[in-house]
Amino acid sequence: MGKTIAVSNMKGGVGKTMTATSLAAGLVRQGKSVLCIDADPQHSLSVCLGITTEVSSQSITIRTIMSKIIEEEHFNQDYGIFHHDDGFDIIPADKSLGSLEISLAGIIERETILREYIDMVKLFYDYIIIDCAPSLGLLTINALAAADEVIIPVIPRFLDAKGLELLLNSIARLQRNINPTLTISGILLTMVERRANFTKEIMSMLEGCYGEKIRIFNEVIPSSVRASESTYEGVSIFTYDPSGKLAKAYAALVREVLSDAA
């Protein structure tokens, strides 16, 4: 039975997509089978991995799959799955996913449509990674309702740190009302500039505010131009720059994630 991990933060530009793709690729390199789901109408994960679904009206996306579940249409468990060269499978998204979020508002059990799909396929994977939208709309609620754990990427900047409380409160409400088994795997510090004077202060503030009740991952993800370069090439950081500092940091994160499951 696969473990489902959502990568979520209500703020954009914090490294959610890089974390989702790197976690997926890193787990594959540890012998795990992985499915990535792009649950963001901005479809950054799909674009970053070179999947341009909008070129064909016949392309199958997570919107297609969720629509079939809503309409109670049958489909096979491998329907719409792309296999990436980095070794993991992907259910892509495109901008039409935003219209589905609007449609979800009037549907019974609207928070658990994605969970129905994941329940269909989780027997075939060790891990399912969901890249969430930078909001707490119905798509992100669907992702968190389906997840076993959530990883929260945070840049160590003052406003980013202050905004974390709103997300944590929202997760707590979701745990009470929709998914009582959801746990916070940890806060992941991303795009870290260790030489900046304020970085240590913000990291210390986060540790003081949340360290006793929420794990802050030991590994921090450094700021690196290699992130945008690998995105441009449509491959994971492990393929693009396997010996670089970014790949080493994400490899250490993967080891932390796997140690939780041991």
User: What is the residue range of 170's domain?
Assistant: 3-261
Q: For residue 105, what pLDDT is reported?
A: 85
Terminal CA-CA length for the chain: 14
State mean pLDDT over 126-143.
95
Q: For residue 58, what pLDDT is reported?
A: 54
Note the pLDDT tens digit of each residue in 87-128: 999 999 988 899 998 889 888 889 999 999 999 999 999 999
Question: Which SS3 state, helix, strand or coil, does residue 154 take?
Answer: strand
Q: For residue 55, what pLDDT is reported?
A: 39
Note the pLDDT tens digit of each residue in 24-40: 999 999 999 999 999 99
- Give the chain as a DSSP string: --EEEEE--SSSSSSHHHHHHHHHHHHHTTT--EEEEEE-TT-HHHHHTT--GGG-TT---HHHHHHHHHTT----TTTT-EE-TTS-EEE---TTHHHHHHHHTTSTTGGGHHHHHHHHHGGG-SEEEEEE-SS-SHHHHHHHHH-SEEEEEE-SSHHHHHHHHHHHHHHHHHHHHT-TT-EEEEEEE-SB-TTSHHHHHHHHHHHHHHTTTS-B-S--PBP-THHHHHHHHTS-HHHH-TTSHHHHHHHHHHHHHHHHH-
Query: Does the structure show a pLDDT above 60 at 57?
Result: no
Tally of domains within the chain: 1
| Residue 36 or 60, more confident | 36
| Residue 159 or 231, more confident | 231
**Mean per-residue pLDDT of the chain:** 90
- Which CATH number belongs to the domain containing residue 93 in this structure? 3.40.50.300
Reported as a pLDDT band with limits 50, 70 and 90, residue 159 is: low
Note the pLDDT tens digit of each residue in 5-27: 999 998 888 999 999 999 999 99
pTM of the complete model beyond 0.75: yes
